[in-house]
Amino acid sequence: MVKSRRSFLRTAGLLACGTALAACTVTKSGNVTSVTLNVAKIDAYAKAAQNFANTILSVPLVTSALGSGPVAIIDGCVAGTVAAIDQFDTAANGAATVSYDSTSVKTAVNSVIADLQTVLTYAKQGIAGIESTASTADTISKVNTAISAAETILSLLTALIVSVGVARAAPTPMSEAAALSVLGA
């Protein structure tokens, strides 16, 4: 049986979303929808987002290509991610799972998503600024791998939170385990 690349990506995306939803359950009771999130999974995704931003900041070629303005924004994203993790963990109160309505904990996770999107945008700009330098091939490869891992984490986080836990079937560049491994979470 020969599978097309598109079929493979669609299957991989659905599998990744299914994995993300394993960290999330949705229950309805009348008009009330409760979403329960796996605290450890959200913490791991947020830590991966923080590690990605720190990785981008640790590559001098990328930071010099970006300039001081975007680097300051990425620094702000790191601080925002740390604050969001703290807010989420406070709301979880040491529990293994946290249930929330659509206006509470979702804000903290959305903050991580927004910060990760910002860092991804700047990382892609920074890497584009140095791609023509042949001596940086290894650096470019490592940053591109980190970008793919961050895109995977972003997709998984988004799948957890969009439409009160209803995942979008978006393909991810790599598996959840590979992304968390690359980003040290």
Rg (CA), the chain: 17
pLDDT at position 35 is: 67
Q: What are the tens digits of pLDDT across the range 44-69? A: 999 999 999 999 999 888 899 899 99
In the structure encoding, which two tokens stand for residue 16, read together? 């990744």
Mean pLDDT of the chain: 76
pLDDT digits (tens, 9 = 90+) for 155-178: 888 877 664 444 444 667 888 888
Determine which helix (DSSP H) or strand (DSSP E) holds 116, and give its type and residue range. helix 105-130
Report the pLDDT value the prediction gives residue 151, as an integer from 0 to 100: 93
Round to whole Å and give the CA distance between 166 and 164: 6
Write the single-letter amino acid at 6. R
Q: Quick check: 84 pLDDT over 80?
A: yes
pLDDT above 80 (res 3): no
